[in-house]
Amino acid sequence: MTTLLEPALATGSLLRLATAGSVDDGKSTLVGRLLHDLRVVMPDQLAAVERVSRERGLAAPDLALLTDGLRAEREQGITIDVAYRYFATPKRRFILADTPGHVQYTRNMVTGASTAQLAVILVDARHGVVEQTRRHAAVAALLRVPQIVLLVNKMDLVGFDKNVYAEISADFERYLERLGVDDPVSIPISALRGDNVVEPSAAMDWYQGPTLLRHLEEVPPAPDPAEQRARFPVQYVIRVGEHDYRGYAGQLVSGVLRPGDDVVVLPSNRRSTIAGIDIAGRPVNEAFAPQSVTLRLADDLDVARGELIATAGSAPEPTRELTATVCHLAERTLRAGDRVLLRHTTRTVQAIVTELVHTLDVTTLETGAGPEALHVNDIARIRLRTAEPIAADDYAVNRHTGSFVLIDPSIGDTLTAGLIGGRP
């Protein structure tokens, strides 16, 4: 192990990951183990956990208390919501979206997976790949999480048997292949004992691959911006004086832009050239995702919030008809004919749900008939018509310009998460 001072002084990259698992597969123990072995959990937190565990008459400290943050959760012994954890090694910083396994797990996992570059899925070595494992893997694949890692946990309870691990990981690979995911990584671990989590396992010398932490440190980060098409949703117009300065503020969600690049503004389809790029008011030679910058254009176009600036020649075709795979998030149902607000990048437009095409059973990957209504946690294909054109990419190509949420226009609640295009 490296010393504690190193991560503090290093400037590493950032990896966002999401964990998923069902109730008894040891997810809380794993997260507790990672935080504990990396010294994220301080003695004062551990002392509080030990005290509460003792008060409840538990024999050992319940590490789930570290992560169950809300009073209602502690009182009921359940996890309500996605919680975010932070840990670091000399190579990387990690943001872990810890998604609960039981209550509303599809909704929570969709939320956690939406920003994740890597999904960790746990199975109990005694039970192998079960329905929930398939569901978690399907959600991760649907949300296009670039990397999926299977942890075969509780290896200590199957005598660290190589064949048990080999069978489970082959089973999992076959299922992921059906989901269109290649080369998943699987690691045999014991979260309870710490085998192959941070330290390599002495009990499983037949396993030659990396520990979980080593894998998290070495997995390639987000796609290289140089290989992506540039997409820049305009957030805000920065003006100084009447004519002194007009810049379009936003975050480059993909690709690279340089002064002199020919660009197109969508959906109005106007062309211009990038005159300059500023970060914090100072000019730079180039910008790349995910930097927040300000673009100045050569022409006097008066671009507004909600428009998309893209490299000319590789820009999406604006459309008012969308087909999408959605996950319904709210208790309020969604039906054909419903009027909603559609939030896509920095643009909010009115939309009508024109058709609920079919539901998708993410466990069997079978499609059902067109439903009457979508209920919370349902995954389905739907069609929408928008009042204004949207400059969207396929979600498979771009997670930022390919995603949207639907909002209830009366109370403002977020209803549905949508992934544009994809398989019919």
Partner 1 sequence: MSTLTRPHELSHLGVLEAEAVHIFREAVAEFERPVLLFSGGKDSIVMLHLASRAFAPAPIPFPVLHVDTGHNFPEVLTYRDLAVKRAGVRLLVAGVQQYIDEGRLHERADGTRNPLQTVPLLDAIRDNRFDVVFGGGRRDEEKARAKERVFSLRDEFGQWDPRRQRPELWSLYNGRHRPGEHVRVFPLSNWTELDVWQYIDQEPIILPSIYFAHRREVFRRGGMWLAPGAWGGPRDGEPVEIRSVRYRTVGDMSCTGAVDSTARTVPEVIAEIAASTLTERGASRADDRMSEAAMEDRKREGYF
Q: Would you give the distance in Å from CA 424 to the centre of its chain?
A: 23
For residues 8-27, which are near partner 1 according to CB under 8 A? 8-14
What's the closest the beta carbon of residue 13 comes to partner 1, in angstroms?
6
For residues 101-140, which are near partner 1 according to CB under 8 A? 107, 110-111, 114-115
> Would you call 267 helix, strand, or coil by DSSP?
coil
Among 133, 81, 130, residue whose Cα is nearest residue 107: 81
Among 125, 121, 151, residue whose Cα is nearest residue 136: 121
For residues 145-174, which are near partner 1 according to CB under 8 A? none
CA atoms within 13 A on the CB side of 17: 29
DSSP assignment letter at 336? T
For residues 49-108, which are near partner 1 according to CB under 8 A? 52, 66-72, 74, 80-86, 88, 90-93, 95, 107
208 or 244: CB nearest partner 1: 244
Q: Is residue 377 close enough to count as binding partner 1 by CB under 8 A?
A: no
DSSP assignment letter at 65? G
**Region label for 6, one of left (φ > 0), alpha (ψ between -120 and 50) or beta (otherwise):** alpha
Residue type at position 63: L
For residues 27-46, which are near partner 1 according to CB under 8 A? 42-45
- Of 208, 226, 285, 424, the one binding partner 1 by CB under 8 A: 226
Residue type at position 409: P
Size of the site for partner 1 (CB under 8 A): 82
- Among the listed ranges 166-174, 192-200, 243-251, 364-372, the one in contact with partner 1 (CB under 8 A) is 243-251
Integer Cα distance of 165 and 54 in angstroms: 36
Q: Are 9 and 43 in contact (CB under 8 A)?
A: no
184 or 402: CB nearest partner 1: 402
What's the closest the beta carbon of residue 278 comes to partner 1, in angstroms?
8
- Among the listed ranges 119-127, 206-214, 382-390, 408-416, the one in contact with partner 1 (CB under 8 A) is 408-416
153 or 401: CB nearest partner 1: 401
Count of C-beta atoms within a 10 Å radius of residue 89: 19
Count of C-beta atoms within a 10 Å radius of residue 33: 22
Binding mask 177-216 for partner 1 (x = CB under 8 A): ----------------------------------------
Q: Are 160 and 203 in contact (CB under 8 A)?
A: yes
12 or 422: CB nearest partner 1: 12
- Of 235, 319, 354, 367, the one binding partner 1 by CB under 8 A: 235
Integer Cα distance of 351 and 28 in angstroms: 40
For residues 320-339, which are near partner 1 according to CB under 8 A? 329
- Of 146, 210, 221, 421, the one binding partner 1 by CB under 8 A: 221
What's the closest the beta carbon of residue 281 comes to partner 1, in angstroms?
3
Q: Are 255 and 225 in contact (CB under 8 A)?
A: yes
What's the closest the beta carbon of residue 288 comes to partner 1, in angstroms?
4
Q: Are 225 and 231 in contact (CB under 8 A)?
A: no
Which tokens sit at 334?
């969604």
CA end-to-end span of the chain: 49
198 or 203: CB nearest partner 1: 198
What's the closest the beta carbon of residue 133 comes to partner 1, in angstroms?
23
- Of 177, 199, 321, 413, the one binding partner 1 by CB under 8 A: 413
- Of 36, 127, 193, 343, the one binding partner 1 by CB under 8 A: 343
Residue type at position 20: A
For residues 248-277, which are near partner 1 according to CB under 8 A? 249-251, 256
Who contacts 369 (Cβ-Cβ below 8 Å, separation ≥6)?
358, 359
Pairing of strands 347-361, 339-344: antiparallel
What's the closest the beta carbon of residue 106 comes to partner 1, in angstroms?
11
43 or 337: CB nearest partner 1: 43
